[in-house]
Chains A and B, each alone.
Chain A
Amino acid sequence: MNLSSALSTKTRSYLSANSRILLWILTLLFLLSFFFFPLFKILALTFNLDTLADFDNLLVVRDSLLFTFYQAALSTLLTFALGLPAAILFAKFDFPSKSLLRALTAVPFMLPTVVVAAAFNSLLGERGLLATTFNLQPSTFNFILILIAHTFYNTSIVIRIVGNAISRLDPKLEASARVLGADTFHVWKDVILPILRPSLLAAALLVFMFDFTSFGVILLLGGSQFATLEVEIYIRALQLPNLNLAALLSVIQLVFTLIFSILYSRTINQVSTQTAPRFSQARPPKTLTERIFVFALSSLLVTFFFLPLISLPIRSLTRLEADRGQRTEVQYGFTTDYYEELFINRRGSLFYVPPVQAALNSLGFAGITVILSLALGYPAAYALAKPTRLEKFLDPFLMLPLGASAVMMGLGFILSFGRLIASPFFIPIAHTLIALPFVIRTLQPALASIPERLRQAASTLGASPLRVWQTVDFPILSRATLSAATFAFTVSLGEFGATLLITRPEYPTIPIAISRFLSQPGGLNYGQAMAMATVLMLLTTLSILLIEKLRFNNAGEL
């Protein structure tokens, strides 16, 4: 090593030793004031004699906990009932437009809860296409609707985790077992299922955890009579105020989520150590039974995943009931009224502003969220890319907001900042809290992938630290940055739980507007909900496509 490079490395490490604290300080301060302080407030309120000694509180906790487990267990079962055959379908068979269908099943996972709720409402709800066409009275099966929406959301988890495990199963294992004397029953019982067990368990845990913490879908499709923990927190925070109980509920929720996450990360580790190289054993269906299976299941999947997504825009353009003031005469047909109505500020409407203002608000909040989460995420990711021992210890604290539900964060804000949250700036702050872990996890691997030698080479060639960043880091990071930004943008656009708790009528966001429209009577309100949900779906889809394209290009280059 020559003198100048030795000097420059030395200077660099000296500089970074001091500036490392600077890297952290802002992000930590942000988390301390907007996550850990509210969390402390919630804990303080929970571990308080008034809260814990109140027998009524404990009854509510018991009931909502039981119902949460009940609906999550049923949803998980239903998700597996569809997901397992689908996992087998994708792992074992090749058929036309397979990759398209696989992509379709993954779409719901990225969609905001309000969009999914609105989509199922547009298809199966009281004013939905099927109900009005066939004159059904589906209000009785709201609970089933919730289960179906959860299945719609989480099937792709089963397909991905279990399907991957199935396609990694060495076909020789089954052959060996058969030759050694195992019939089909024993092949499954003694070989295939034990090997798939960790992935089945991991998928079940993840699906269960998502169903357990589901909020928007349950509130919007079921209403507040379906009191899961999340819904109950919302009710006790805003509708029947009992903040002590809300705090207690959210701590219980947090404890369960943490338990599930720990169990999940343990099982998923087993999955990755057990899987051998991938065996490409997918082939076209041969026997009649196989053909029927492939055809029937792929048709079912197309219907199940496409129908709600297409029914939403259709419903938003369809007039299915009487217009204002013409209560007797029903007009069916095409209409753009619902979209036009979004631009009109009617007296006595739900908001003090024309509904389109909600879209502008959402875009504004999303913009602030992107800037905030990048500004806070970048330094943290930089430090985590090559962490010191202390920083490794800090990492789980950065990720902890993932375990807290959005509703809980909203509750924490109410408890911590009181009247201050009338300020619209708390909304992007909440969104940033939710997006930050994802942003850090997107940037960190990209930062870690930059070889230190490249930086050293640049600085020995005479580049200043700024110039090094400009010429080495930035080109490599620009894609990851754009991907993280788009992600933060999408999260903010679709965020419902936290926003619902801290929002003020003057600053509605798109999801809030959709939920208000849905909860009001009248065909026009319903239609506007559909129109807004369609707009949100399109915006989100565009973002997803952008992220996917970036990821694909990245993979192509590396």
Chain B
Amino acid sequence: MLELRNVVKSYEDKPLLTDISFTVSQGETICLLGASGSGKSTILRMIAGLDFPERGAILLNSLDLAQTPPHLRDFGLVFQDYGLFPHLNVFDNIAFGLRMRNVPVDEIKQRVSVLLEQVNLSGFDSRKVTDLSGGEQQRVALARALAPSPRLLMFDEPLGALDRSLKEDLLNEIRGILHKTKIPAIYVTHDQEEAFTIADRILVLHEGTIIRDGMPSEIWKDPQSAFVAKLLGIGNVIDGEVVEVNKVKTVFGVFALDCKKRVGEKAQLLITVGDGKGEEIQLTVEDVLFKQDQFQVKGRGELLIHMKDAPRIGDVITVRVQVKCLS
């Protein structure tokens, strides 16, 4: 089990990570979400041993890793732009980690061919990595990281450079491999779809700390803060003002409040539409967007809802919404 304990790190004399603590258990995939520049990659670099925390500790199975140099940690790291060795072919790239561990030649051959099959690149052994497509390069990078059977796998926005359909394919492959090998993994991304697809647990990084740590379904139901809701694209976040005890006034009307706020205070609210429950509101349709199997309807006040049938712009429709207090 990997554990980060109160890790602190600054970047160019400004605090970047103020207090990071989390754990990754055997066989678990956690997803680290955050805006760009929030320090996600730095956390991975510190776990890999390429960078050092200023305070706090990183432990593997209760052993402090501070004195272990990166090449002895037995971790795997996959970058967004692959980081493949341009002077080596596909086979030698994948074999690199095995050679560093002085694995016998026969065993290396066997292991590499198994891995190539696993990432659907059988027969690519002697290809130059610079001739491969982005998706193929990332598969090689994945196989290279898997080759030495690492104790932990880290992905730093691995699909960021790929186009959409490739992204989905590769994401499912990674998911399959992680499930099969039971290697614990940390997956860094800013893409909420990727996060929900791959994660057993999602950690949201904001302003130097983990502000939310939970299973995808929990977080979807209850993002708890406006930042998490916005980052993960959960529902609509609107502002309201508490006008009397347990009543909040918004552009859509007055709703009951499910958290304790004093009269006159501002509140941020999560408005979710669907499953026919909640209070009715009237909405003027401002824009309609066709999205694959449904229509995204934009109403007054930037409210987004999804509908099976498309209304016309200017129509007034009635929807039922649930209102949840975020802060």
Residues on A lying within 8 angstroms of B by beta carbon are 170, 172-173, 175-183, 186, 190-191, 194-195, 197, 274, 276
A173: B residues at CB distance < 8 A: 83, 85-86
A194 contacts B87, CB within 8 Å?
A: yes
Contacts of A177 in B (CB 8 A): 85, 96
B 139-161 binary contact with A (CB < 8 Å = 1; else 0): 00000110010000000000000
Contacting pair B71 A183 (CB below 8 A): yes
Contacting residue for A178 out of B70, B84, B148, CB 8 A: B70
Assess the B77–A175 pair: CB atoms within 8 A: yes
- Shortest A421–chain B CB gap in Å is 53
B85 contacts which chain A residues (CB < 8 A)? 173, 176-177, 191, 195
Say yes or no: B50 contacts A179, CB within 8 Å. Answer: yes
Q: Is B97 among interface residues, defined by CB-CB distance under 8 A?
A: yes
- Tell me which residues across on chain B come within 8 A of A172, comparing CB atoms: 79, 81, 83
- Which of these, B69, B79, B84, B100, contacts A186 with CB under 8 Å? B100
Most A Cβ at <10 Å: residue of B72, B79, B87, B99:
B87
14 contacts between A and B (CB under 8 A): A172-B79, A173-B83, A176-B79, A176-B144, A178-B48, A178-B69, A178-B71, A179-B50, A179-B76, A181-B97, A181-B148, A182-B96, A191-B85, A194-B87
Nearest neighbor of B47 in chain A, beta-carbon distance: A179
Nearest residue (CB) in A for B97 is A180
**A180-B100, A180-B145, A180-B148 known, 18 other contacts, Cβ within 8 Å:** A172-B79, A172-B81, A173-B86, A175-B45, A176-B77, A176-B83, A177-B85, A179-B49, A179-B76, A180-B71, A180-B76, A180-B96, A181-B71, A182-B96, A186-B71, A186-B100, A197-B87, A274-B87
Contact B69 A183 (CB under 8 A): yes
| A-B CB proximity, top 8 nearest | A181-B100, A172-B83, A180-B97, A178-B70, A176-B83, A179-B77, A194-B87, A181-B71
| Bound CA span A172–B99, Å | 19
Chain B contacts of A197 at CB under 8 A?
Answer: 87
Contacts of A274 in B (CB 8 A): 86-87
B73 at the A interface (CB under 8 A): yes
**From A178, A182, A186, A191, contact of B50 by CB (8 A):** A178
Greatest chain A CB density within 10 A among B49, B73, B100 is at B100
The closest CB in chain B to the CB of A276 belongs to B86
**B75 contacts partner chain A, Cβ-Cβ < 8 Å:** yes
Report the bound CA distance from A186 to B136 in whole Å. Answer: 26
Q: How many positions in chain B have a CB within 8 Å of any CB in the partner chain?
A: 28
In the complex, number of A-B residue pairs with CB atoms less than 8 Å apart: 73
For A170, what are the chain B residues with a Cβ–Cβ distance below 8 Å?
81, 83
Question: Given the complex, which residues of B lie within 8 Å of A175, measured CB to CB?
Answer: 45, 48, 50, 70, 77, 79, 83
Give the secondary structure class of A's interface. Answer: helix
Question: B71 to A179, Cβ gap below 8 A?
Answer: yes
B101 within 8 A of A: yes
Give the residue name and chain of the B residue nearest to A181 (CB): B100
Which chain A residues border B86 with CB–CB below 8 Å?
A: 173, 195, 274, 276
- Separation of A296 and B97 alpha carbons in the complex (Å): 37
Chain B positions within 8 Å of A181 at CB level:
71-72, 74, 97, 100-101, 148
Report B-chain residues with C-beta under 8 Å of the C-beta of A183.
69, 71
CA A195 to CA B71, docked complex, whole Å: 20
A276 surroundings in chain B (CB, below 8 A): 86
Q: C-beta contact mask, B41-53 vs A, less than 8 Å → 1, else 0?
A: 0000100111000
How far, in whole Å, are A217 and B134 apart by their CA atoms in the complex?
Answer: 52
Cα distance A178–B73 in the bound complex, in angstroms: 10
Contacting residues, chain A, for B50 (C-beta < 8 A): 175, 178-179
Please indicate the chain B residues that have their CB under 8 angstroms from the CB of A178 in the complex: 48-50, 69-71
Q: What separation, in Å, do the CA atoms of A394 and B197 have in the docked complex?
A: 63
Q: In chain A, what residue has the closest Cβ to B150?
A: A179
Residues of A within 8 A of B100 (CB): 180-182, 186
Instruction: Flag if B48 contacts A179 (CB, 8 Å).
Output: yes
Within 8 A of A (CB), among B83-99: 83-87, 96-97, 99
- Which B residue's beta carbon lies closest to that of A183? B71
- Chain B residues closer than 8 Å to A190, beta-carbon distance: 96, 99
If A190-B96, A195-B87 touch, whether A179 touches B79 (CB-CB below 8 Å) is: no
Measured between alpha carbons, how far is A195 from B96 in the docked complex, in Å? Answer: 15
Contacts of A186 in B (CB 8 A): 71, 100
B323 to chain A, nearest CB (A): 46
Select the residue from B97, B101, B148 with max chain A CB neighbours within 10 A: B97
Cα A315 to Cα B81 with chains together (Å): 56
| CB-based contact B87/A182 at 8 Å | no
Name the CB-closest residue of B to A274: B86
Query: What's the minimum C-beta distance from A214 to chain B, rounded to whole angstroms?
Result: 33
User: What distance in Å separates the Cβ of A139 from its nearest Cβ neighbour in chain B?
Assistant: 48
Distance of A550 Cα from B273 Cα, bound (Å):
65
User: Complex: how many Å from CA A134 to CA B99?
Assistant: 57
Q: How far is the CB of B153 from chain A (nearest CB, A)?
A: 10
Question: Once bound together, how far apart are the Cα atoms of A194 and B89, in whole Å?
Answer: 13
How distant is A289 from chain B, measured CB to nearest CB, in Å? 16
**A52 to B144 alpha-carbon distance, docked (Å):** 60
Bound-state CA distance A178–B45 (Å) is 11
CB distance from B66 to the nearest CB of A (A): 16
How distant is the Cα of A186 from the Cα of B144 in the complex, in angstroms? 17
Complex Cα spacing A170 to B85, Å: 10
CA of A302 to CA of B145 in the docked complex: distance in angstroms?
A: 45
Q: Roughly how many angstroms separate A116 CA and B48 CA in the complex, as a whole number?
A: 51
CB distance from A357 to the nearest CB of B (A): 59
Instruction: Please determine whether B81 and A179 come into contact, CB atoms closer than 8 angstroms.
Output: no
Give every chain B residue within 8 A of A176 (Cβ-Cβ): 77, 79, 83-85, 144
Nearest chain-A residue to B81 (Cβ)?
A172
Residues of B near A182 (CB, < 8 A) are 71, 96, 100
The complex places the Cα of A70 from the Cα of B276 at a distance, in Å, of: 90
Determine the chain A residues whose CB is within 8 A of the CB of B96 once the complex forms: 177, 180, 182, 190
Q: A197 CA to B83 CA in the complex, in Å? A: 19
Distance, CA A177 to CA B84, complexed state (A): 9
Contact (A180, B144) CB under 8 Å given A173-B83, A195-B86: yes
Most chain B CB inside 10 Å of its own CB: which residue of A180, A181, A186, A194: A180
**Which residues B124-183 have CB closer than 8 A to chain A?**
144-145, 148
Nearest-neighbor residue (CB-CB) of B82 within chain A: A172
Q: Nearest CB to that of A283 among chain B residues?
A: B12
Which B residues are in CB contact (< 8 Å) with A179? 48-50, 70-71, 73, 75-77, 145
- Give the complex CA separation of A176 and B85 in angstroms: 9
Report how far A186 CA is from B49 CA in the complex, Å: 17
* Distance in angstroms between the alpha carbons of A492 and B315 in the assembled complex: 83
Chain B residues near A180: list those with CB within 8 A: 71, 76, 96-97, 100, 144-145, 148
Nearest Cβ in chain B — how far from A224, in angstroms? Answer: 46
Complex Cα–Cα for A177 and B76 (A): 10
Q: How far is the CA of A194 from the CA of B49 in the complex (A)?
A: 24
Centre residue among B71, B74, B97 by max chain A CB count within 10 A:
B71
Distance in Å from the Cβ of A260 to the closest Cβ of chain B? Answer: 24
Shortest distance from the beta carbon of B215 to any chain A beta carbon, whole Å: 29
Complex interface: chain A residues within 8 A of B83 (CB): 170, 172-173, 175-176
The interface centre, meaning the residue of A181, A182, A183, A186 with most chain B CB atoms within 10 A of its CB, is A181
Return chain A residues, CB-CB under 8 Å to B79: 172, 175-176
A495–B288 alpha-carbon span in the complex (Å): 76
Give Cα A175 to B65, complex, Å. 17
Name the distance in Å between A331's Cβ and chain B's nearest Cβ: 58
User: In angstroms, how far is the closest chain A Cβ from the Cβ of B174?
Assistant: 17
Contacts of B144 in A (CB 8 A): 176, 180
* B87 (CB) vs chain A CBs: closest residue: A194
